[in-house]
Chain A
Amino acid sequence: MPIPDVEILNKLGAIMHVALRIPEAEVIPDARIFDDLGAESIDILDIRFRIEEAFGFKIDEGEIMRSIDPDKGFEELKDQFTIGATAAFIRQKLDQLEQGHA
């Protein structure tokens, strides 16, 4: 049974709350992880490890950013690195796992 999208967002909310000490209510799909939620580069690693544990798959270095646009660099993608984009990445990984590709 695939994990519903709302559950992905709820889990992401809990992860951001613990990692960044922000209220879960602020963790909305449009929230930019750096500028709106205040993450620093080491926090991205922390968040990545928490996502790996919560959802049961490994994430490569820079993989979430590449899922937004593989041809653009970090600076160009910083504003597009949102909760929604991260949730979409998790959805994609879970679907691949379900199909046995991940």
Chain B
Amino acid sequence: MPERHPWLRHVVITGGTRGIGRSIALSVCSSGAHSVLLNYLQNDEAAQETKARCEELGAQCVLHRGNVGSPDEIDRLFDVATEQLGSIDLLVHCAALNSFKPITAIKPNQWDLTVNIAARAFLLCAQRCAPLMERGSIIAVSSLGARRVLENYGAMGPAKAALESIVQYLAVEMAPRGIRVNGITAGLVETESLSKFPAAEQMIEAAKHHTPAGRIGTPGDIARVVHFLAGPDAAWIVGQTLVADGGFSLR
């Protein structure tokens, strides 16, 4: 039986069945989470596979399929959380949808879709989550595009910048209630969605060359930072977005 950490008993993860979200789900289950509620947008097969892995690790896993860009869907997600989990110790927002275009070519509906899922959903999830938390941690997964201009990251970069700002505002309002809100700025991470970038292979090679650590990140790299931020060793970290990029942004 894995060691049970009281700050990880009941966990909600948006975008929790693939890539970084999946890795976080497996990490918290390995650390003894009682139950995880994993939201996902599509791909039932991947969701079922992640659920099975979580259950093998001894956790109850509840799946919720829905677009968190919709406030109604967020209400449904947290209705499920209330019913199935009762309380929440950790919320991680990983859900994101990118149009992989330059900003000058972004259309209004594409902007709305990207910003609503990456940024507004985090705000609305945190608002719905807080009443279910006695104490706890809320973590947003951001990316370097929030702080640097990345090619074909036109809507997502500004959306992630908004996300990092929301982290600060929520942190100030929620800290007195014992809820710590933080973020992670991830560098390039090897996930399925990376392959959707135009010229993905060249981009990965260039990033490896540019990164002092000599490789790009793995979902596990980010999951370990989530584990740290959610735990008592990070008790004095409030409203920060930590950069986890192997040193990419240093040069």
Contact call A46/B113, Cβ cutoff below 8 A:
yes
The residue that B99 contacts in the complex, of A20, A21, A40, with Cβ under 8 A, is A40
Size of chain B's interface in residues, with CB distance under 8 A? Answer: 17
CB-defined interface of A39-54 with B at 8 Å, one 1/0 digit per residue? Answer: 0101101100100110
Interface centre among B43, B67, B72 (most CB of A within 10 A): B67
Contacts of B97 in A (CB 8 A): 42, 45
Q: How far is the CA of A21 from the CA of B100 in the complex (A)?
A: 20
Contacts of B43 in A (CB 8 A): 61
Q: What class of interface size applies to chain A in its complex with B?
A: 10 to 19
CB-defined interface of B55-89 with A at 8 Å, one 1/0 digit per residue? Answer: 00000000001010110100000000000000000
Q: How far is the CA of A18 from the CA of B98 in the complex (A)?
A: 19
A78 sits at the interface (CB 8 A): no
Question: How far apart are B68's CB and chain A's nearest CB, in angstroms?
Answer: 11
Contacts A60-B42, A60-B44, A61-B43 given; indicate if A43 touches B109 (C-beta within 8 A).
Answer: yes
Looking at chain A's contact residues, the main secondary structure is helix
Contact call B113/A45, Cβ cutoff below 8 A:
yes
Question: How far apart are A63's CB and chain B's nearest CB, in angstroms?
Answer: 10
Q: How far is the CA of A89 from the CA of B134 in the complex (A)?
A: 46
Question: How far apart are A46's CB and chain B's nearest CB, in angstroms?
Answer: 5
Contact call A49/B44, Cβ cutoff below 8 A:
no
Contact call B109/A19, Cβ cutoff below 8 A:
yes
Q: How far is the CA of A43 from the CA of B107 in the complex (A)?
A: 9
Q: How far is the CA of A13 from the CA of B214 in the complex (A)?
A: 51
Question: How far apart are A66's CB and chain B's nearest CB, in angstroms?
Answer: 14
In the complex, chain A residues 1-50 whose Cβ is within 8 Å of any chain B Cβ: 18-21, 40, 42-43, 45-46, 49
Question: How far apart are A69's CB and chain B's nearest CB, in angstroms?
Answer: 21
B2 sits at the interface (CB 8 A): no
Contacts of B65 in A (CB 8 A): 58
The residue that B107 contacts in the complex, of A21, A45, A53, A60, with Cβ under 8 A, is A21
Contacts A40-B99, A45-B97, A49-B69 given; indicate if A18 touches B44 (C-beta within 8 A).
Answer: no
Contacts A40-B99, A53-B70 given; indicate if A46 touches B44 (C-beta within 8 A).
Answer: no
Contact call B99/A42, Cβ cutoff below 8 A:
yes
Q: How far is the CA of A52 from the CA of B113 in the complex (A)?
A: 15
Q: How far is the CA of A40 from the CA of B111 in the complex (A)?
A: 13
Contact call A46/B109, Cβ cutoff below 8 A:
yes
Closest to B69 in A: A49
* Chain B residues with a Cβ under 8 A of chain A: 42-44, 65, 67, 69-70, 72, 97-100, 107-110, 113
* Chain A residues with a Cβ under 8 A of chain B: 18-21, 40, 42-43, 45-46, 49, 52-53, 58, 60-61
* Apart from A20-B109, A40-B99: 13 A-B pairs, beta carbons within 8 A: A18-B109, A19-B109, A20-B107, A40-B107, A42-B97, A42-B100, A43-B107, A45-B97, A46-B110, A46-B113, A49-B70, A52-B67, A53-B72
